[in-house]
Every structure is written in C-alpha cells, then in structure tokens.
Amino acid sequence: MVKDMNFFTPYQGQKKEQKNKNIYVYSLTGFLAVVILGTLAWNSTS
C-alpha cells in the first residue's frame, strides 16, 4: 500500500516515471490479451 502511495511522487525523474507508465500499460495490455485469448479458447472448446 505504501509503495502505491509513493508511485507518483514528484521526486522521481521523468525517465523513471515514463518507465513505470510503460510497465503499467504493457501489463494491462498483456492481461487483456490473456483474457480475450482465454475467452476465445473457452468458447472454442465448449
């Protein structure tokens, strides 16, 4: 929880902030891709 509170602190450099944002975007995209592919696979086998 404390780590989440400190996630967008001003002292972080612009580069690190961008990197954190990229990690968030990629993990979200990957999660959605897994959900979509999982749903397709589930519907195909059912």
Do 20 and 7 meet the contact criterion of CB atoms below 8 Å apart? yes
According to the model, what pLDDT value does residue 2 have? 52
CA gap 28, 12 in Å, rounded: 22
CA gap 32, 23 in Å, rounded: 14
Which residue ranges of the chain lie beneath pLDDT 50?
1
CA gap 41, 25 in Å, rounded: 24
Structure tokens at 19: 């990197």
Cα 1–chain centre separation: 17
